[in-house]
Amino acid sequence: NAGVTQTPKFQVLKTGQSMTLQCAQDMNHNSMYWYRQDPGMGLRLIYYSASEGTTDKGEVPNGYNVSRLNKREFSLRLESAAPSQTSVYFCASTDYNEQFFGPGTRLTVL
């Protein structure tokens, strides 16, 4: 039981490049989330998916797109990366009360 896994762990992009952050969970959870965390700050919700086939915007969705590929996988895409998107990205899933977080992806946009 791996819980929530994220790939890659680290990534450096140039401004304007695109990339997809991958997230998978093996706990059969319906709801999944993407957060970002800037230095010294708490996490902020980007997008979430209450169930397979549905996605909704969170607090800071601009510049991102998501895909809930199936019940296990929830990906986050940056179409044209900007330096303001330099952050640590966390994926999470929930079993009704407790959210389980992945280890994070550290993204730097130059």
Partner 1 sequence: DAKTTQPPSMDCAEGRAANLPCNHSTISGNEYVYWYRQIHSQGPQYIIHGLKNNETNEMASLIITEDRKSSTLILPHATLRDTAVYYCIVRVGGGSQGNLIFGKGTKLSVKP
Binding region for partner 1 (CB under 8 A): 4, 30-31, 33, 35, 40-45, 48-50, 58-59, 88, 90, 92, 94, 96-104, 106
CB of 16 to partner 1, least distance (A): 27
3-state SS of 43-96 is: EEEEEEECCCCCCEECCCCCCEEEEECCCCEEEEEECCCCHHHCEEEEEEEECC
CB of 48 to partner 1, least distance (A): 6
Q: Which CB, 2 or 41, lies closer to partner 1?
A: 41
The secondary structure of residue 16, as a DSSP letter, is: T
CB of 20 to partner 1, least distance (A): 19
